[in-house]
Amino acid sequence: MRVLAIGAHPDDIELQCGGTLALYAKQGDEVYAAVATNGDMGNYDVEPERLAAIREAEFREACAVMGAAPIWMGYPDERLVPTLEHRLAFVDVIRRVDPDLVITHGPNDYHPDHRYTGQLVWDALPLAGVASLKTAVPATSRQVTLYYMDNTGGVGFQPTEFVDITDTIEKKKEALGRHLSQVRIFRQLMDVDLLDLVETVGKFRGYQAGCRYAEGFVKVEAWYRGLSRRLLPEGGRASLFEYKAAEDGGGEP
C-alpha cells in the first residue's frame, strides 16, 4: 500500500500523524511525506532564506526517522492560497505517488496554511484521476480515500478512527525532535514543549481509543471514495489494562 501525508509546514506531519506513518513503514508499506511550505517565517532570529534551508534539512532527517520518502514543495510560509496553479501542483504530487490514501489537515485547523493545504488536497484529489487534465505527471486510475489528521493540541477535533501508536510513539518523538529550530522557538516564545505536547495528546487519544498512545483521524466521506475495509493501520492490540498488567510484572502484553 502507498500512503501520502501532506502537511503545510515542515513539522506538521510529525506532530499529527508521525506515529501512524512510522507504523505504516514498519509494516512494509510505502510512505511519502509532502510539505507545502518552506517554513521560512517561523523564527524571528533567523533570516528567512537560511531558515528555509534549515527547515528542509530537518524535515528530511525526520522523514528518514519515520521511514517516509520526503517531498518538498517549497512554497513561501504564511502565504499559501488556493490558486489554480497551486491546485495543479498538488495534483502532480498526488499523481507522482498514486497513493491508496492521503492524510492532510482538516478544515477547522487554526492556521490558514493548514486550512488551505487541506483545501488544496481536497480540490486536487478528484482531478488527479482526470486523464484529459494534462500535467507533468500522468493521471491516476482511481479516486483516493482522504483522512484528516488531528489539530494541534486536539482542539476542536473529534476523531472517527484511531491508530494505536504505542509501538511507534518514540519514533514520532524522535522525528519531531529533528526539528530543532521549531522545538526551540516554541519553547522560547510560547513556553511550549512540542515533545511533551505529542506525549500528552497521544495519551489523551489513547484513553479515548483504549490503548496507551493513539493518533486520531476523520475519514472524509465523499462520493466514490467509500471503502468497505479499513485503510488505517491496526497498530498494537493490547488494552490499557494489559499494558498495566505487564508493568506490574504480569508479562508482556
Using alpha carbons only, how large is the chain's radius of gyration in Å?
Answer: 18
Question: What is the per-residue pLDDT across 78-136, written as a single tens digit (0 to 9) for each?
Answer: 999 999 999 999 999 999 999 999 999 999 999 999 999 999 999 999 999 999 999 99
Q: What is the pLDDT of residue 235?
A: 72
Q: What is the pLDDT of residue 229?
A: 80
Q: Which three cell numbers stand for residue 88?
A: 495543479
DSSP letter, residue 28? T
Q: Which three cell numbers stand for residue 111?
A: 492556521
Spell out the residues 6+ positions from residue 103 whose beta carbon is closer than 8 angstroms to its own: 3, 4, 5, 6, 17, 20, 146, 147, 148, 149, 217
28 φ, ψ to 5°? 95, 10
Contact 24, 161 (CB under 8 A): no
For each of the domains in the chain, give its residue range(s) and CATH number, in order of start.
2-250 (3.40.50.10320)
pLDDT averaged over every residue in the chain: 93
User: Which pLDDT band, with edges at 50, 70 and 90, does 142 fall under?
Assistant: confident
Contact 165, 122 (CB under 8 A): no
pTM of the predicted model as reported, rounded to 2 decimal places: 0.92
Question: What is the per-residue pLDDT across 153-170, written as a single tens digit (0 to 9) for each?
Answer: 999 999 999 999 999 999
Q: Is 189 exposed, middle or buried (0-12, 13-18, 19+ CB in 10 A)?
A: exposed
DSSP letter, residue 121? H
User: Which pLDDT band, with edges at 50, 70 and 90, does 236 fall under?
Assistant: low
Question: What is the per-residue pLDDT across 3-17, written as a single tens digit (0 to 9) for each?
Answer: 999 999 999 999 999
Spell out the residues 6+ positions from residue 73 whose beta carbon is closer than 8 angstroms to its own: 34, 35, 36, 37, 89, 93
**Cα 114 from Cα 7, distance rounded (Å):** 7
